[in-house]
């Protein structure tokens, strides 16, 4: 797409990550005239932008890949938790196998979209001046498409190198011999710290809230090992589809409070040794539902951290006696040697709750009446998650309001896929779907298959316009909120609740009832003729 060129499609997909390329592949096989638009230079979604030092996936192989045997049969990873470079290689491999790039417009950002009621089409504008007409638009923008940097006083005055982890230079950045400051202790902060701590002259981690990071338990993989693993892939992918979070974990059956201390500790130890998200989501049924059960998980986690950090005061800063929030209600990061870093003489942690950051200066950071000098500042300050990537696009519906205006008091959808007043628009991995509580490739396939079937049904029934009703949108929003209130997620100011962005409505942004329950309701709606939607046939 270039200049004022106009294109007409059955479906336009926004985003070329797991969800977008899966939609393209499946819809193209079914004869749809379909194309992807993506702002990146290559496909991969977040794995194009996430190229900061240490960036790697937090879901174990083979869960973090497509379940298509045509792909996994001949693909082998080098690590159980691959890094960003290997993810890019994987997407290049998928590109060749599925022949995707011919139908993707790279380096092209969608700037706006408006629904034309006369033709029942979307007019989608991109930054190259082109307009695309599409019968349907499927947004696959992901949960982390809009970064967030707090309004630090003096940030523009800093004379050193400063990057948000989401906008890291593609050519990389060397920390060797530098004074490095990392602001933020989410996943990207932890990952950058583990790399910077090895070569930086001085590394300072600015911590607002302790990160309840979990042991990754990384492993190298060879071809022979994966050959044996692949015998179990079909069964593991079947479990993935039947699980709560899109993983291949066994089903939970016990409460943390009904077992003996010995059995509880053994279960925790087993999950810890398995690594990844096992300790977060595969120990007991009530860890995220009951405060007493939750405390047992936090106490175990804290004992692990204190056993690895030599200075008691530093250990208490990193893992305080009183939990900063219930365990697991902020997305845990995975770590390999994060806590051991603070035993090194060149690494320090600053507790921003005790000594707030006052301002950023030309030479560094002013805190507690003192200026700390830095050559490099890393903004690991997160995202306007789930909704931010969507509302930054000027999407105008049928009532003259934008999506941003429609969600001004909080996101509202039907089934997490459709929005009242925005016909023929579908969301994958969006708000009020499992998204942030579900492994990305799992959602791309499980939720993506439902979207593909819906588009097929609309075509077969000659539906030219489909739209969620306001009643269905309100009902689904109430349902999501009700389930959220049954959990402990609202007890933390996390991006799950939109609470990390000043002025953003506080609500649970992801469907917390699990993938199985979510898909049961989506499938039931489809079986009932897409209950909750108004369908207009061709006339």
pLDDT exceeds 60 at position 475: yes
Rounded mean pLDDT of 451-464? 97
pLDDT exceeds 60 at position 231: yes
Strands 533-537 and 463-468: antiparallel
Give the start-end residues of each E strand in 278-406: 334-335, 347-351, 357-360, 364-367, 370-373, 376-379, 394-396
Rounded mean pLDDT of 21-33? 98
Q: 339 and 456 share a domain?
A: no
Picking from 354, 300, 309, the residue whose alpha carbon sits closest to that of residue 328 is 300
Q: CB-based burial of residue 356 (10 Å sphere; 0-12 exposed, 13-18 middle, 19+ buried)? A: exposed
Please give the pLDDT value at position 1: 52
Q: 309 and 444 share a domain?
A: no
Handedness of CA 291, 295, 301, 306 (dihedral sign): positive
pLDDT, tens digit, for every residue of 161-214?
A: 999 999 999 999 999 999 999 999 999 999 999 999 999 999 999 999 999 999
Q: What are the φ/ψ torsions at residue 350 (nearest 5 degrees)?
A: -115, 120
Query: pTM of the prediction?
Result: 0.96
Kindly report the CA angle at 163 between 160 and 164, in degrees rounded to 5?
A: 150
Give buried/exposed letters for 197-225 (b at 16+ CB in 10 A, else e).
Answer: bbebebbbbbbbbbbbbbbbbeeebeeee
Q: CB-based burial of residue 168 (10 Å sphere; 0-12 exposed, 13-18 middle, 19+ buried)? A: buried
Which helix (DSSP H) or strand (DSSP E) does residue 134 occupy?
strand 131-139
Choosing from 329, 361, 379, the residue where a domain stops is 379
% of residues, the chain, pLDDT over 70? 99
pLDDT band at residue 242 using 50, 70 and 90 as cut-offs: confident
Please give the pLDDT value at position 243: 87
Q: Taking the CB of residue 74, how many other CB atoms lie within 10 A of it?
A: 9
Strand partners, 263: none
For residues 431 and 260, give the distance between their C-alpha atoms in angstroms, rounded to a whole number: 39
| Residue 234 CB contacts under 8 Å (≥ 6 apart), including other chains | 69
Q: CB-based burial of residue 244 (10 Å sphere; 0-12 exposed, 13-18 middle, 19+ buried)? A: buried
Residue 527, domain member (yes or no): yes
pLDDT band at residue 129 using 50, 70 and 90 as cut-offs: very high
Residue 285, domain member (yes or no): yes
Please give the pLDDT value at position 7: 75
Rounded mean pLDDT of 301-310? 98
Q: 192 and 302 share a domain?
A: yes
Helices 18-29 and 84-98 meet at what angle, rounded to 10? 10
Residue 89, domain member (yes or no): no
Q: 138 and 165 share a domain?
A: no
Q: 212 and 120 share a domain?
A: no
Q: 184 and 291 share a domain?
A: yes
For residues 209 and 127, give the distance between their C-alpha atoms in angstroms, rounded to a whole number: 38
Please give the pLDDT value at position 116: 96
Q: Are 438 and 515 in contact (CB under 8 A)?
A: yes
Q: Is 368 left (phi over 0), alpha (psi -120 to 50) or beta?
A: left
Please give the pLDDT value at position 5: 46
Residue 352, domain member (yes or no): yes
Tokens of residue 350, six digits: 């600053």
* CATH number of the domain that residue 126 is part of: 3.50.50.60
Please give the pLDDT value at position 80: 98
For residues 526 and 415, give the distance between their C-alpha atoms in angstroms, rounded to a whole number: 11
For residues 20 and 13, give the distance between their C-alpha atoms in angstroms, rounded to a whole number: 6
Radius of gyration of the chain (CA): 23
What count of residues does the chain have?
A: 539
Residue 84, domain member (yes or no): no
Choosing from 357, 379, 401, the residue where a domain stops is 379
DSSP summary character for residue 315: H
Choosing from 362, 379, 396, the residue where a domain stops is 379
pLDDT exceeds 50 at position 2: no
pLDDT, tens digit, for every residue of 489-498?
A: 999 999 999 9
List the domain range (segments joined by +) for residue 500.
6-43+100-144+385-537
Tokens of residue 339, six digits: 């806590």
Give the start-end residues of each E strand in 385-454: 394-396, 425-427
pLDDT exceeds 80 at position 364: yes
Q: What are the φ/ψ torsions at residue 227 (nearest 5 degrees)?
A: -60, -40
| Residue 88 CB contacts under 8 Å (≥ 6 apart), including other chains | 42, 44, 47, 48
% of residues, the chain, pLDDT over 90? 96
Q: 216 and 327 share a domain?
A: yes
Q: 250 and 367 share a domain?
A: yes
pLDDT band at residue 417 using 50, 70 and 90 as cut-offs: very high
Q: What are the φ/ψ torsions at residue 465 (nearest 5 degrees)?
A: -150, 125
Residue 73, domain member (yes or no): no
State the total domains in the chain: 2
pLDDT, tens digit, for every residue of 102-128?
A: 999 999 999 999 999 999 999 999 999
Residue 125, domain member (yes or no): yes
Q: 124 and 159 share a domain?
A: no
For residues 169 and 281, give the distance between their C-alpha atoms in angstroms, rounded to a whole number: 34
Report how far Cα 120 is from the mean position of its chain's Cα atoms: 32
Q: Is 372 left (phi over 0), alpha (psi -120 to 50) or beta?
A: beta
Q: 256 and 366 share a domain?
A: yes
Q: Are 515 and 492 in contact (CB under 8 A)?
A: no
pLDDT, tens digit, for every residue of 428-453?
A: 999 999 999 999 999 999 999 999 99
pLDDT band at residue 539 using 50, 70 and 90 as cut-offs: low
Residue 299, domain member (yes or no): yes
Residue with structure tokens 């710290």?
193
Q: Taking the CB of residue 89, how many other CB atoms lie within 10 A of it?
A: 16
Q: 125 and 167 share a domain?
A: no
Q: 415 and 345 share a domain?
A: no
Which helix (DSSP H) or strand (DSSP E) does residue 240 occupy?
helix 233-242
Q: What are the φ/ψ torsions at residue 236 (nearest 5 degrees)?
A: -70, -40
For residues 453 and 442, give the distance between their C-alpha atoms in angstroms, rounded to a whole number: 17
Handedness of CA 523, 529, 531, 534 (dihedral sign): positive
């Amino acid at each position: 797409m270039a200049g004022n060129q106009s294109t007409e499609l059955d479906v336009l997909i926004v985003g070329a990550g797991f969800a977008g390329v899966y939609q393209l592949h499946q819809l193209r096989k079914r004869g749809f005239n379909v194309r992807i638009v993506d702002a990146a230079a290559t496909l991969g979604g977040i794995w194009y932008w996430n190229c900061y030092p240490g960036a790697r996936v937090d879901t174990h192989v083979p869960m973090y890949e497509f379940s298509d045997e045509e792909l996994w049969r001949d693909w082998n990873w080098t690590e159980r938790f691959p890094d960003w470079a290997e993810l890019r290689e994987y997407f290049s491999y998928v590109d060749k196998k599925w022949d995707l790039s011919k139908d993707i417009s790279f380096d092209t950002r969608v700037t706006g979209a408006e629904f034309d009621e006369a033709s029942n089409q979307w007019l989608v504008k991109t930054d190259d001046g082109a307009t695309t007409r599409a019968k349907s638009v499927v947004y696959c923008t992901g949960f982390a498409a809009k970064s967030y940097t707090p309004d630090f006083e003096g940030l523009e005055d800093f004379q050193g190198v400063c990057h948000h982890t989401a906008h890291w230079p593609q050519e990389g950045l060397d920390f060797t011999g530098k004074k490095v400051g990392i602001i933020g202790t989410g996943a990207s902060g932890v990952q950058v710290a583990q790399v910077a701590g090895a070569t930086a002259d001085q590394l300072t981690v600015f911590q607002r809230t302790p990160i309840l990071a979990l042991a990754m338990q990384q492993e190298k993989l060879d071809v022979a090992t994966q050959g044996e693993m692949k015998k179990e892939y079909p069964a593991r992918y079947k479990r993935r589809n039947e699980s709560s979070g899109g993983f291949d974990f066994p089903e939970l059956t016990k409460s943390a409070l009904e077992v003996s201390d010995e059995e509880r500790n053994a279960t925790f130890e087993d999950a810890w040794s398995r690594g990844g998200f096992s300790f977060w989501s595969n120990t007991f049924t009530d860890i995220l539902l009951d405060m007493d059960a939750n405390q047992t998980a936090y106490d175990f986690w804290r004992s692990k951290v204190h056993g690895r950090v030599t200075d008691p005061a530093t250990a208490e800063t990193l893992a305080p006696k009183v939990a900063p929030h219930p365990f697991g209600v902020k997305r845990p990061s995975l770590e390999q040697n994060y806590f051991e870093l603070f035993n090194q003489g060149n690494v320090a942690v600053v507790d921003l709750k005790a000594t707030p950051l006052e301002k950023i200066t030309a030479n560094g950071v002013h805190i507690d009446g003192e200026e700390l000098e830095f050559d490099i500042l890393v903004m690991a300050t997160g995202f306007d998650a789930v909704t931010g990537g969507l509302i930054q696009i000027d999407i105008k519906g049928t009532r003259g309001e934008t999506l941003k205006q429609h969600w001004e008091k909080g996101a509202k959808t039907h089934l997490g896929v459709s929005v009242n007043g925005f016909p023929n628009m579908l969301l994958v991995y969006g708000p009020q779907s499992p998204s942030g509580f579900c492994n990305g490739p799992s959602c791309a396939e499980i939720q993506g298959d439902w979207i593909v079937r819906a588009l097929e049904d609309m075509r077969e029934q000659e539906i030219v316009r489909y739209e969620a009703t306001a009643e269905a949108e309100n009902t689904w929003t109430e349902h999501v909120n009700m389930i959220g209130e049954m959990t402990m997620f609202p007890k933390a100011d996390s991006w799950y609740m939109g609470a990390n962005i000043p002025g953003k409505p506080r609500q649970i942004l992801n469907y917390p009832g699990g993938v199985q329950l979510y898909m049961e309701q989506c499938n039931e709606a489809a079986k009932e003729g897409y209950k909750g939607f108004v369908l207009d046939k061709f006339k």
